[in-house]
Chain A
Amino acid sequence: SQKIEQNSEALNIQEGKTATLTCNYTNYSPAYLQWYRQDPGRGPVFLLLIRENEKEKRKERLKVTFDTTLKQSLFHITASQPADSATYLCALSSSGGYNKLIFGAGTRLAVHP
């Protein structure tokens, strides 16, 4: 069955450093891979999408890579800030007209001043 794995342990980093989160998947060939941010008690907020034929995508301090051979995505936050502390979710979907998302369990990021 389809499986998405994200670092289950919380990631603790110092302010100003780059945070790198990993998303691995098996038994799936997604057309799209997305990253969401979720704060406690709130719904996920869309951050970035990358397509299967793209290697890298950037948006301000965020960068996503997508390696369909390794079946892995890396999510980077450069110059991290305490406000970046949240849980980050990886989600996959296939093409075909609508967007049923398959989510990983998320990785909690804590950025310390």
Chain B
Amino acid sequence: NAGVMQNPRHLVRRRGQEARLRCSPMKGHSHVYWYRQLPEEGLKFMVYLQKENIIDESGMPKERFSAEFPKEGPSILRIQQVVRGDSAAYFCASSPPGGFKGYNEQFFGPGTRLTVL
């Protein structure tokens, strides 16, 4: 069973371009979380999605950022008109449905390191 896959692993964009980050959850997992990690900081929650639904996007910047998890295919985190401050490592995690007493372990991907020039 392959782990969580993210691609690309490294992405370089110029200011004003768009960045698309992809996340394929583990087989059988229907919950996806996106986190952002700035240098020397902890991971910060961005958004939680289930198939075709955004459940919690309280950590997403109001503008330029969007996420989706279609019925078929990977989850996509999209950043429009990137700025230097968007440079960070973006991690995706997946978890299975169900779980007991509300807890589901999250399995993290290797991350995408975005550099904005």
Judge whether A59 is part of the interface by a CB distance below 8 angstroms: no
Known contacts A45-B108, A46-B107: A100-B48 contact under CB 8 Å: yes
Known contacts A43-B91, A89-B43: A99-B103 contact under CB 8 Å: yes
**Chain A residues with CB under 8 A of B106:** 46, 99, 101
Please give the distance in Å from A38's CB to the nearest CB on chain B. 9
For the residues of B in contact with A, the DSSP-based class is strand
Judge whether B71 is part of the interface by a CB distance below 8 angstroms: no
Report the bound CA distance from A30 to B92 in whole Å: 22
Please give the distance in Å from B51's CB to the nearest CB on chain A. 14
Known contacts A32-B103, A43-B111, A49-B103: A98-B48 contact under CB 8 Å: yes
**Chain B residues with CB under 8 A of A49:** 103, 105
**Chain A residues with CB under 8 A of B56:** 98, 100
A95–B101 CB distance below 8 A:
yes
Judge whether B42 is part of the interface by a CB distance below 8 angstroms: yes
With an 8 Å Cβ cutoff, the count of chain A residues facing the other chain is 26
**Chain A residues with CB under 8 A of B44:** 103
Please give the distance in Å from B59's CB to the nearest CB on chain A. 8
Cβ-closest chain A residue relative to B59? A100
**Chain B residues with CB under 8 A of A41:** 110-111
Judge whether A4 is part of the interface by a CB distance below 8 angstroms: yes
Report the bound CA distance from A89 to B106 in whole Å: 14
Q: Which of B41, B42, B109 has the most CB of A within 10 A?
A: B42
A99–B95 CB distance below 8 A:
yes
**Chain B residues with CB under 8 A of A104:** 42
Please give the distance in Å from A44's CB to the nearest CB on chain B. 5
Residues of B within 8 A of A (CB): 4, 31, 33, 35, 40-45, 48, 55-56, 91, 93, 95, 101-111
